[in-house]
């Protein structure tokens, strides 16, 4: 019998060859020693870079040249923020008439610049698109007495300055808020909604109690530390300043494998190629800044623990309520399932906190768009090159469309153009699609749990108690012991800062490293990946990382269970007063009687305006209606409609166009049949030639993205019949059978049994590619509630109206 003879592989050959084994061992030993020297030299460079960076007056990692336009220290309420104009690199031309683009960086322990860290970044994308770009950064130390409200008012002042610099630009600035800057921007937009164009909040936490169990360990930190008293203690020991290194340490503790091993090992294993990238990132990661004690205490008490922003409970010092329902600009929420710092529930939960249904969003004239990435981490949301080339590029390219998108809740998805059947009609590499969603569908992403709300409400109460006890008994002693010198040395001795200092040229033990590293580079002997010892090194490294991940998972699971057990105790909840009145554990603005009355009043106003207007209203209403049934309406329809608007009425500003589009969407949404039957009345007084021209213009817009679907074609036939009825001396023409069939709700989607005033249900969800308002695709089963039998008779002589001012809920 013949047996196969095993052939040794390259990995096992040294084990069978003693001399080869010894040679492989010697080669690996020499390579490991050389890599160790080079690795220590990289750490020395990191330390020198850190010291050089923090000793600058204005440290920043922004990768573009800038000029300062406004210094926040010169404002009536001084802050350590600055408004800078980004100077375009060579070869990039800026169109001053395009929408300004403003990036606000987070102040969460690190220095500024991450939004423009490299060419493929948020700022880089906007510059290549020709937008004037501005950057809001900050200095490492706060101004005395600086508060969160002062920072928000400064950002409002900066935005006014940007608008003043572009008087000929009709569009308001697009504002990007990264991470912690996101909630600052939303607060500013709630106070001054007229200043903002579309808002993009990337990786920004707005609902701090939200989170999926097992995937949001940071939200338990406040409860496990007994509340915010620890923040007050660190601020007092810091002589009124809070070291941002403590915040960075919290971020690092989320992933100990990366913090303690993987990040460093990656440099050690690839020291010949990885050093530059590592040092570039560490320049930002190690650039710790300082926050004022008053600022961080406000943030922790009101946001991290109190969760008061997303429930409209914050008030300014002059008595203004900060209610996110007042934001009138479209809000784009970009988050990722791979983000353990700001998971999707914390980025999106504010919608669930404020609204019970989409009808509330529509009544408040809000457009909320969200995009959930599958895998990128927290920093990847605003520094990843692939994310910038894909998501941020599409957001920037579609902001004009998003700005006129009808109110509602939408989820976006991005697909490659070359993978679509209509690839020849798409101008860019990717296509951004919008799908209408309901709050119930969003809630599946958020994972709302009322029992967890009770626990976090208990934490908020206990935090207030512990903070009061600290201020009564310990704070006087802590402040008495703290001096400017002691605070400075406490910051220097922080482990995150000390590690950089110890491995720098200021440590005498590193004096020989530069010359030794230079000799190694001159005679380097790297080994290949096929070396058996190098393979063993890689396996050991993977085991270490896996072990640390296992320890992290056990730690997080134990911490979560401890939190749930402690704060889920009914007795503890009673002792802090939660169960005494039997009321909800937190305010839910969307369920309040005042808000429901507002929705009813808003819908009554819409009903009264069904037959008001003229040919512009008729054309817009008709276009929205037809495109509501088309599966392929995208930004080409929007561009064509804007061009048509310019041709028909050049004096109509974009803001008026946006108002016209939104109002007609509202009217169709509220009472579709009455809105359609009023079209002939809107065209009253027009000649036959003018009516035919309007119809051709609508057809011109509809043809922008190819042939209409059968459903959209049926809708267009009905519009044609309505326009024919409006022709002078025309006989009444009944809607075509196809058009009438198009109006029947799909099977299984019946009208509500009772005429509830907020019945704004949707058609079967249908993706709408980035373009004209396909949100009317929800309207096929709108309720007819609220329509009076003589609704069409309300169509008096059409008249033009000035756009209404934004309405506060």
Query: Beta-strand (E) ranges in 20-172?
Result: 66-71, 81-86, 101-104, 133-138
Query: Average pLDDT in the 645-665 region?
Result: 69
Query: Average pLDDT in the 696-719 region?
Result: 79
Find, among 205, 460, 450, the residue nearest to 345 by Cα.
205
Q: What is the structure's pLDDT at 428?
A: 67
Q: What is the structure's pLDDT at 731?
A: 46
10 Å CB burial of residue 699 (0-12, 13-18, 19+) is: middle
pLDDT tens, residue by residue, 314-373? 999 999 999 999 998 999 999 999 998 999 999 999 999 999 888 889 888 899 999 999
**Partner residues linked to 135 by β-bridges:** 84, 103
534: enclosing H helix or E strand:
helix 532-567
Check residue 705 and report its DSSP letter: G
* Cα angle 581, 586, 590; round to 5: 115
Find, among 210, 127, 138, the residue nearest to 178 by Cα.
138
Find, among 137, 248, 255, the residue nearest to 491 by Cα.
248
User: Token digits for 410?
Assistant: 């939408």
Q: What is the structure's pLDDT at 727?
A: 84
Asked if residue 189 lies in contact with residue 532, where contact means CB atoms within 8 angstroms, the answer is no
State the Cα–Cα distance between residues 50 and 288, nearest whole angstrom.
9
* Cα angle 240, 243, 245; round to 5: 170
Contacts of residue 408, defined as CB under 8 A and 6 or more positions apart, other chains included, come to: 358, 361, 362, 367, 368, 436, 775, 778
Asked if residue 410 lies in contact with residue 775, where contact means CB atoms within 8 angstroms, the answer is yes
Task: Please state, rounded to an integer, the average pLDDT across all residues of the chain.
Answer: 82
Asked if residue 70 lies in contact with residue 83, where contact means CB atoms within 8 angstroms, the answer is yes
Query: Average pLDDT in the 646-671 region?
Result: 72
**CA 112 centroid distance within chain:** 18
Asked if residue 314 lies in contact with residue 308, where contact means CB atoms within 8 angstroms, the answer is yes
State the Cα–Cα distance between residues 768 and 412, nearest whole angstrom.
9
pLDDT at 238 over 80: yes
Number of Cβ within a 10 Å radius of residue 237: 19
Distance set, CA 190 to CA 177, 331, 642, 808 (Å): 14, 12, 28, 10
pLDDT tens, residue by residue, 597-637? 766 776 677 677 787 888 878 888 888 888 764 433 455 55
Query: Average pLDDT in the 537-555 region?
Result: 97
Q: Within 13 Å and on the Cβ side, how many CA atoms surround 87?
A: 7
Q: What is the structure's pLDDT at 640?
A: 58
The pairing of strands 408-416 and 174-178 is unpaired
Longest dimension (CA), the chain: 105
Number of Cβ within a 10 Å radius of residue 28: 18
Query: Average pLDDT in the 402-411 region?
Result: 85
Contacts of residue 627, defined as CB under 8 A and 6 or more positions apart, other chains included, come to: 633, 637, 702, 712, 772, 773, 774, 776
49: enclosing H helix or E strand:
helix 18-54
pLDDT at 682 over 70: yes
Lowest mean pLDDT among 125-139, 373-387, 583-597: 583-597
10 Å CB burial of residue 74 (0-12, 13-18, 19+) is: exposed
Residue with the two structure tokens 């008001």: 612
| More confident of the two residues 219 and 413 | 219
Query: Average pLDDT in the 102-113 region?
Result: 92
Residue with the two structure tokens 């010092």: 317
Find, among 631, 729, 617, the residue nearest to 676 by Cα.
617
pLDDT interval class at 456 (50, 70, 90) = very high
- b/e sequence 78-88, b meaning 16+ C-beta within 10 Å: bbbbbbbbbeb
Lowest mean pLDDT among 184-188, 454-458, 516-520, 708-712: 708-712
State the Cα–Cα distance between residues 114 and 66, nearest whole angstrom.
14
pLDDT interval class at 740 (50, 70, 90) = very low
Q: What is the structure's pLDDT at 664?
A: 82
Q: Is the dihedral of CA 534, 538, 544, 547 positive or negative?
A: negative
User: Token digits for 662?
Assistant: 């939104």
pLDDT at 203 over 90: yes
| More confident of the two residues 406 and 5 | 406
**pTM of the full predicted structure?**
0.82
pLDDT tens, residue by residue, 473-525? 999 999 999 999 999 999 999 999 999 999 999 999 999 999 999 999 999 99
| More confident of the two residues 788 and 673 | 673
pLDDT at 672 over 80: yes
Lowest mean pLDDT among 102-116, 192-206, 529-543, 649-663: 649-663
Asked if residue 320 lies in contact with residue 357, where contact means CB atoms within 8 angstroms, the answer is no
pLDDT tens, residue by residue, 171-189? 899 999 999 999 999 999 9
Lowest mean pLDDT among 74-88, 678-692, 739-753: 739-753
State the Cα–Cα distance between residues 271 and 290, nearest whole angstrom.
32
pLDDT tens, residue by residue, 60-69? 899 899 999 9
The pairing of strands 199-202 and 174-178 is parallel
pLDDT interval class at 649 (50, 70, 90) = low
Asked if residue 780 lies in contact with residue 628, where contact means CB atoms within 8 angstroms, the answer is yes
pLDDT tens, residue by residue, 575-605? 998 876 545 566 667 666 666 676 677 667 7
pLDDT tens, residue by residue, 242-294? 999 999 999 999 999 999 999 999 999 999 999 999 999 999 999 999 999 99
Distance set, CA 673 to CA 160, 631, 779, 785 (Å): 43, 22, 10, 11
State the Cα–Cα distance between residues 497 and 245, nearest whole angstrom.
7
Total residues found in the chain within this entry: 809
Q: What is the structure's pLDDT at 781?
A: 36
């Amino acid at each position: 019998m013949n047996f196969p003879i095993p052939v040794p592989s390259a990995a096992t050959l040294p084990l069978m060859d003693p001399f080869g084994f010894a040679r492989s061992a010697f080669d690996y030993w020499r390579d490991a020693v050389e890599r160790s020297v080079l690795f220590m030299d990289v750490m020395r460079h990191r330390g020198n870079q850190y010291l050089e960076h923090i000793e600058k007056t204005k440290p920043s990692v922004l990768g573009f040249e800038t000029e300062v336009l406004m210094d926040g220290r010169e404002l009536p309420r001084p802050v350590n923020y600055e408004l800078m104009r980004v100077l375009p690199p060579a070869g990039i031309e800026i169109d001053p008439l395009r929408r300004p683009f403003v990036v606000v960086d987070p102040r969460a322990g690190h220095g500024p610049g991450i939004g423009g860290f490299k060419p493929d970044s948020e700022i880089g994308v906007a510059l290549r698109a020709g937008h004037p770009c501005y950057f809001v950064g900050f200095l490492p130390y706060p101004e005395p007495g600086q508060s969160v409200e002062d920072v928000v008012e400064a950002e409002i002042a900066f935005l006014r300055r940007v608008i003043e610099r572009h008087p000929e630009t009709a569009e308001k600035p697009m504002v990007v808020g990264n991470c912690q800057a996101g909630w600052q921007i939303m607060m500013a937009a709630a106070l001054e909604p007229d200043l903002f164009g579309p808002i993009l909040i990337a990786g920004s936490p707005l609902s701090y109690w939200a989170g999926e169990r097992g995937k949001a360990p940071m939200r338990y930190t406040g409860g496990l530390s007994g509340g915010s008293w620890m923040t007050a203690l660190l601020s007092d020991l810091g002589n009124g300043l809070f070291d941002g290194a403590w915040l960075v340490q919290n971020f690092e503790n989320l992933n100990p494998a990366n913090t303690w091993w993987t990040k460093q090992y990656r440099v050690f294993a690839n020291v010949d190629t990885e050093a530059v990238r590592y040092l570039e990132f560490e320049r930002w990661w190690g650039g710790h800044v300082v926050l004022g004690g008053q600022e961080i205490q406000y943030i922790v008490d009101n946001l991290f623990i109190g969760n008061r922003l997303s429930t409209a409970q914050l008030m300014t010092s002059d008595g203004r309520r900060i209610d996110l329902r007042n934001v009138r600009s479209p809000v784009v929420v970009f988050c990722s399932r791979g983000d353990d710092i700001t998971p999707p529930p914390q980025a999106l939960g504010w919608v669930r906190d404020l609204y019970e249904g989409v009808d509330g969003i529509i009544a408040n004239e809000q457009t909320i768009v969200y995009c959930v990435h599958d895998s990128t981490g927290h920093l990847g949301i605003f520094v990843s090159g692939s994310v910038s080339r894909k998501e941020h590029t599409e957001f920037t390219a579609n902001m004009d469309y998003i700005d006129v998108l009808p109110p509602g809740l939408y989820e976006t998805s991005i697909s490659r153009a070359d993978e679509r059947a209509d690839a020849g009609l798409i101008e860019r590499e990717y296509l951004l699609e919008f799908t209408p969603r309901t709050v119930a569908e969003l809630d599946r992403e958020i994972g709302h749990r009322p029992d967890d709300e009770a626990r976090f409400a208990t934490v908020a109460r206990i935090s207030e108690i512990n903070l009061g006890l600290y201020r009564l008994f310990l704070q006087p002693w802590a402040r008495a012991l703290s001096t400017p010198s002691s605070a400075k040395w406490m910051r220097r001795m922080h482990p995150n800062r000390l590690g950089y200092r110890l491995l720098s040229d200021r440590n005498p033990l590193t004096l020989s490293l530069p010359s030794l590293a230079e000799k190694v580079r001159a005679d380097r002997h790297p080994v290949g990946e096929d070396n058996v010892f190098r393979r063993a090194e890689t396996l050991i490294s993977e085991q270490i990382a896996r072990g640390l991940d296992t320890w992290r998972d056990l730690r997080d699971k134990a911490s979560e269970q401890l939190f749930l057990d402690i704060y889920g105790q009914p007795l503890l909840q009673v002792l802090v007063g939660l169960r005494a009145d039997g009321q909800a554990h937190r305010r839910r603005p969307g369920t309040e009687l005042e808000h429901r009355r507002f929705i009813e009043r808003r819908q009554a106003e819409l009903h009264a305006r069904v037959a008001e207007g003229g040919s512009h209203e008729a054309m817009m209403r008709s276009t929205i209606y037809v495109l509501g049934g088309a599966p392929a309406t995208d930004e080409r329809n929007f561009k064509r409609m804007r061009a048509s608007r310019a041709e028909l009425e050049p004096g109509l500003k974009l803001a008026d166009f946006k108002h016209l589009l939104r109002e007609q969407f509202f009217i169709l949404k509220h009472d579709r049949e009455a809105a359609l039957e009023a079209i002939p009345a809107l065209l009253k007084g027009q000649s036959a030639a003018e009516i035919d021209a309007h119809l051709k213009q609508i057809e011109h817009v509809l043809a922008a993205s190819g042939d209409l679907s059968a459903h959209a074609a049926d809708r267009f036939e009905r519009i044609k019949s309505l326009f024919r009825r409006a022709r002078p001396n025309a006989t009444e023409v009944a809607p075509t059978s196809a058009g009438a069939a198009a109006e029947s709700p799909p099977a299984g989607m019946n009208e509500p049994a009772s005429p509830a005033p907020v019945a704004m249900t949707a058609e079967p969800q249908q993706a709408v590619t980035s373009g004209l308002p396909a949100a009317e695709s929800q309207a096929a089963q709108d309720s007819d509630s609220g329509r009076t039998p003589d609704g069409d008779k309300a169509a008096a002589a059409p008249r033009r109206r000035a756009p209404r001012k934004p309405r506060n809920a």
